[in-house]
Amino acid sequence: MSTLCLYRLALIPYHSWVTHSNWTLHDLGSHILRGERYMVGNIIYTRQLGIDIIIINSETIARELLNKRSAIYSDRPVIRTNELAGMAFNTALLPYGETLQRHRTIYHQVLRAEASASYHEMYTRQASELVIDLLDASADPHNLTHTCDRYPACLITAVTYGHIARRDGDPVLGRLHELANIINRVITAEKAALFTAFPFLEKLPAWCFSGDYALLERSRELCQQLLNEPFNEVKEQMAAGTASQSLVADFLSQADDDADEHMMKAIALTASLAGSESTAATIHTFILAMVLYPDVQARARAELNQVVKHDKIPSLHDRDSLPYLEAVLREVLRWSPVVPLGLPHATSEDDVYDGYFIPKGTVIMVNQWALSRDEDEFPDASRFDPNHHLTVDGQLKDRHTGNLFVFGFGRRICPGRWFAMDALWIGMAAILSVLRIDHAGDLNGKRIEVRPEFTAGVSVRPQDFACSFESINAAREGQLRAMINLK
């Protein structure tokens, strides 16, 4: 969930990842003093509201500090708005210590790559719904955004709780969506700065606040509902012998005590929130790229049709045989990182890097946008080109999926990355196997132009755009409709 990268305070503007990338173009390796900011090569230092902040624009440096020195680079900064919004349970927000380590142990138990494989049928069913929903959403930008949001939310709640979402008006999905919207409004850099500068504000009663601040209480209420109600429903189903396969059910079958249950509640909701938003944004970006780069779309579909019979739908078992489609997925993640400045780390001890002192408590941010625009690694980096990830003979470069920089670094790397990649791959494969994506037309039949424009903020996704979806394989479409009992 993109709720953490909050030290881009009012002094650092939206789309600041672009600004931070540009700073490093000046006199690489020199010191540039600008008030309380200076730059040394691909490291930027700034101090705001008494907080030391380092922004890293190099994957090599990020891996040196956050991976190799992870013992002292794995803490999180204290951000008061997170707790005020009821989000202190969130695994990604926890300070480095015993509780976080226990959370991650449970994550590795229930979210390991082997566990993801046991949910492949569930992935395929939800991807089938995505394709049919996209056909219905064609040419309506708002419906497209809603459909992109619905796919991961349905999938993640099914995998996590065994919850089969209603087609319309599902209460669990509704609360998750409401909470995500509130978090994106109330947990912002500006509000974090306000509570940091004026801590007495925390003592004021709720009625003193208006606008977005008044939503903090509702956020706390939603967090408690979502922590407890879906989890307790699974417990009741297990007692009655009616529980479906899910991460929570698998965990409860081997839980040691109530303390573990408390942690699993937090892990389950963290996964639901984090996975829903990032996966939705990535699917949305994929569709945008397919509109803008029809040659890529055609090549990916041709590869798919060569491997998968025309009357069969693709499955995750086909993934290793489709290197170009895998490259498309990796390129979507690179072309528009969902959280461009990543999630902030903090140092738990003083350190020295390349002769420069980094004090304890320094906030460390990796500018994923800068990493994605590294021309040495990705020539013509602003262009969407899956060949960035392929060798000259069309095979994937030796770069393991789980190590992609978009999943973070060190002991804070995303523990659900295997689930995320499976969900994204099967969604993209299902779309390409049945649908042709193109520009939409207006009422006069004129093509509606689409620009690669993205939202601003802690996390980003494409701004609403219109496109069209045409079914090009009746046999596969029929199988998808049969799978979800649609006529």
Q: Is 5 annotated as a binding residue?
A: no
Q: Which helix (H) or strand (E) holds 266?
A: helix 258-292
Task: Give the Cα separation of 121 and 426 in Å (integer).
Answer: 10
- 278-305: b or e for each residue (b if 16 or more CB lie within 10 Å)? bbbbbbbbbbbbbbbbeebbebbbebbe
Q: In angstroms, what CA-CA distances link 429 with 33, 208, 267, 328?
A: 49, 50, 29, 10
Could you tell me where the DSSP H helices lie in 293-347? 294-307, 323-335
- The size of the chain, in residues, is 487
Task: Give the Cα separation of 290 and 277 in Å (integer).
Answer: 20
Q: Which amino acid is at 207?
A: W
Phi, psi of 93 (to 5 degrees): -95, -15
Strands 51-56 and 363-366: parallel
Contacts for 450 with CB less than 8 Å, ≥ 6 apart:
288, 291, 292, 439, 465, 466, 467
Q: What angle do CA 454, 456, 462 make, to 5 degrees?
A: 20
Q: Are 355 and 85 in contact (CB under 8 A)?
A: no
Other beta carbons less than 10 A from residue 100's beta carbon: 19
Task: Give the Cα separation of 297 and 24 in Å (integer).
Answer: 34
Pick left, alpha or beta for residue 465 (phi over 0 → left; psi -120 to 50 → alpha; otherwise beta).
Answer: beta
In terms of C-beta density within 10 A (0-12 exposed, 13-18 middle, 19 or more buried), how is residue 102 classed? Answer: middle
Q: In angstroms, what CA-CA distances link 131 with 256, 293, 424?
A: 41, 20, 13
The gap from C-alpha 404 to its chain's centroid, in whole angstroms, comes to 13
Q: What is the CA radius of gyration of the chain?
A: 23
Q: Are 260 and 402 in contact (CB under 8 A)?
A: no
| Residue whose tokens read 């900064």 | 77
Q: Are 290 and 429 in contact (CB under 8 A)?
A: no
Binding site: what residues are annotated? Answer: 414
Residues annotated in the binding site for heme, as ranges? Answer: 414
